[in-house]
Amino acid sequence: MFYSYNTFCDGINRITDNIRADNYKFNYIVGIARGGLIPATVLAYRFKKPVLLIEWSTRDMGKRIS
């Protein structure tokens, strides 16, 4: 599957528009590692909010690599 930059931007724009339309007040953006950090970072810049990063994996059963 090819996910283009334009498709990414369209998705982020839709998310941004939905959040603004809802007028929901929040303190930070949550980004889930392994795919969610880039969208979380873009949204954090757009809304001028800090990012809270979470690491979650069902495959690795809680093992951490340092």
- List pLDDT tens digits, range 11-26: 999 999 999 999 888 9
pTM for the model: 0.77
What pLDDT is stored for residue 7 in this prediction? 95
Q: How confident is the model at residue 61 (pLDDT cuts 50, 70, 90)?
A: low
Nearest C-alpha neighbor of 16 from the set 55, 42, 49, 52: 42
Query: Is the backbone of residue 7 left (phi > 0), alpha (psi -120 to 50) or beta?
Result: alpha
Answer with the residue of higher pLDDT: 48 or 57: 48
